[in-house]
Chain A
Amino acid sequence: MEQKELHDLALTAARLRSMAMDEVYTAASGHIGGSLSVADILTVLYFHAMRVDPKNLKDPNRDRLVLSKGHTTPALYAALALRGFFPAEELGLFRSIKGHFSGHPDMVNVPGVDMSTGSLGQGISAAVGMALAGKLDKKDYRVYAVLGDGEIAEGQVWEAAMAAAKYKLDNLTAFVDVNGLQIDGATADVMPSEPLDKKFEAFNWNVIKADGHDLAAIAGALEQAKAVKGKPTVILAKTVKGKGVSFMENNAGWHGKAPNDEQYAQAHAELTAVIEALEKEGK
């Protein structure tokens, strides 16, 4: 990837984080920790890898994304707004009775959302169905699913994993946002999911490990996944929950909590500083 594109992606990711924070602060509820950990993954998908057109929402040949870890909606909605699916100002109504931006992704009311999700473990199955339809129709679109590492405990994830391997869905790439934390604490304590690589390998998936905050590494992993034939790929993306906000990083307490005024001011300052630095650097 060229330095210019990398810089632009970094700036987009920084803006996305700031918008996600604004959504949660304005709504006074929502899942900020996982939104910040998944921000770079969604940035590379929507602004580098995926073939989508906000002016042609129902294009049958478009790439699809299923946010199986649906609670990190603030990041998804921010990505869609930045990508031009709807005006960013509308996100002021996130989780509001006055708007149509529900707490979890809603494919009926929010332009650009490919699947309604939120109940953990279910999104990956829908992604398998989309990839299966692509094979059936001999279309070349790609399907992406993003899971959380806590979500991995759902049995349905492994039912879907078996099915994806059975049907050789090499048009399907799943990310696991391995931030190591879930509501009740460390994933290693709540329900140990490791070794994720060996598990997915045993389920006949191609496994790639990447730094989930290294934009070039994420893009590289996606390129590798595209080249693999005959099996689906999972990218195990090591991330930091709360990434980009000092007091939220690696703190399970920020899974589903909104910041108060003071906390927001600090978070906003930290996230804005990154945006400004990148903007300055770009000039």
Chain B
Amino acid sequence: MGEKIATRAAYGKAIVALAEEYPELVVLDADLASATMTNGFMKAYPDRFFDMGIAECNMVGVAAGLATCGKKPFVNTFAMFAAGRAFEQVRNSVAYPHLNVKIVGSHGGLSVGEDGATHQCCEDFATMRSIPGMVVCCPCDGNEMAAAVKALLDYEGPAYLRMCRLATEVFTDTVPGYKFELGKGVTLREGKEVTVIAVGLMVGRAMQAAEMLAGEGIDVRVIDMHTVKPLDTELVIKAARETGCIVTTEEHNVIGGLGEAVCACVSENCPVPVVRHGVEDTFGRSGKAEEVLTHYGLTAEGIAEKVREAVRRKNG
């Protein structure tokens, strides 16, 4: 069992660790430094940290201005406010001029827990991936997050990075041959009968589901699709051809996220059954993170149920 760390915590460490190597990195926050975990950077590099107050729209615009002067700004707030409230600033001030700003949305999905629906953003993949030229990335564990931060520092252009509040087990560091590359999914487990394409928190649960289903004699492939956009269509098509059916799973509305991206790719290139698993077009509610996830079926068992359905359809 690997250590448990939230991707937001891994992010907070990564930006500090990479600060010397990337002197143009500057960090902006909107009065949430202790929640987005930019507070370590704030303490270590106070001259390169800007607390813009509770004013996300301005923060994104300021980051755009900094980027025109050669800085590499990472803008931090909750996913809800980054991809929701400041959507139009991201579109018009950052993405339209293709500026090198990284929009970092912490507290993505239902695993926010107690704060409830107002803060449980399940629409960020949808809004961000609808913007031309935006990269949309959501790492599945702390190890992947550290790699993603470095990759995003090396990538010139606008990108959205979603992180999770809940501490989860780190496991990608023990996957043989694991390599992070933006826009390239990682096959974490080989399988011939069905493929689960997962993102973020759901990747670990997909691995658990695959283990459970192996006991039932279902051979499941698991792909960690950390980059929702641009989608690794080659890997998706290969999975469709080789396994004949797909389940997608995400801590996001089934509308507009990874599931729909995979559906579009599969239906255009290699039609096979695709079953989407995620938040069923509903708002979240308060509760402890695991309780909320369980309430909405975002569990290994929830994924397994969709896998059985996909296999039935394929064989039906």
Contacts and interface: CB of A to CB of B under 8 A. Distances in A.
Interface of A: 60, 64, 66, 106-108, 114-116, 118-119, 121-134, 136-137, 155-156, 159-160, 162-163, 166-167
A136 B97 CA distance: 23
B61 interface: yes
A119 to B, nearest CB: 4
A125 B64 contact: yes
Nearest to A129: B65
A123 B89 CA distance: 10
A128 B65 contact: yes
B48 interface: yes
B48 A136 contact: yes
Contacts of A126: 61-62, 64-65, 68, 93
Give the size range of B's interface with the partner: 20 to 34
Contact of B69 (A118, A119, A133): A133
Contacts of B70: 60, 133
24 contacts: A116-B97, A119-B93, A122-B89, A124-B61, A125-B58, A125-B60, A126-B62, A126-B68, A128-B65, A129-B62, A129-B65, A129-B68, A129-B73, A130-B69, A133-B65, A133-B66, A134-B69, A136-B26, A155-B57, A156-B57, A160-B61, A162-B53, A163-B58, A163-B62
Contacts of B96: 116
Contact of B58 (A64, A114, A159): A159
Contacts of A119: 88, 92-93
Interface in B90-116: 92-93, 96-98
A116 to B, nearest CB: 4
B254 interface: no
Contacts of B62: 125-126, 128-129, 132, 160, 163
B97 A115 contact: yes
Interface of A: prevailing SS: helix
A119 B60 CA distance: 14
Given A125-B62, A129-B69, 4 more contacts: A115-B65, A122-B57, A133-B68, A133-B69
- Going nearest first, the 4 A-B pairs with the smallest beta carbon separation are A129-B65, A125-B61, A159-B58, A133-B69
A130 B63 CA distance: 9
B57 A125 contact: yes
A115 B94 CA distance: 10
Contact of B97 (A64, A108, A127, A162): A108
Contacts of A107: 68, 97
Interface string B53-92: 1010111111111111111010000000000000011001
A122 B92 contact: yes
Nearest to A105: B97
A131 B98 CA distance: 20
A122 B93 CA distance: 7
A128 B64 CA distance: 10
A156 B92 contact: no
B47 interface: yes
B92 A129 contact: no
A166 B57 CA distance: 17
Contacts of A133: 65-66, 68-71
B296 interface: no
Contacts, number: 106
Contacts of A137: 69
Nearest to B57: A156
A158 to B, nearest CB: 9
Interface in B16-70: 26, 47-48, 50, 52-53, 55, 57-70
Interface centre among B67, B69, B71, B96 (most CB of A within 10 A): B69
Interface centre among A60, A118, A128 (most CB of B within 10 A): A128
Nearest to A116: B97
Contacts of B68: 64, 107, 114-115, 126, 129-130, 133
Nearest to B88: A119
Contacts of B48: 136
Nearest to A125: B61
B280 to A, nearest CB: 34
B58 to A, nearest CB: 3
A127 B65 contact: yes
A159 B57 contact: yes
A122 B96 CA distance: 13
Contacts of A128: 58, 61-62, 65
A126 B61 CA distance: 5
A193 B92 CA distance: 25
Contact of B66 (A66, A106, A132, A155): A132
A134 B68 CA distance: 11
Contacts of A60: 69-70
Contacts of A134: 69
Contacts of B88: 119
Given A115-B97, A163-B53, A125 B92 contact: no
Contacts of A159: 52-53, 55, 57-58
A66 B120 CA distance: 35
B11 to A, nearest CB: 22
Nearest to A131: B65
A147 to B, nearest CB: 13
Nearest to A166: B53
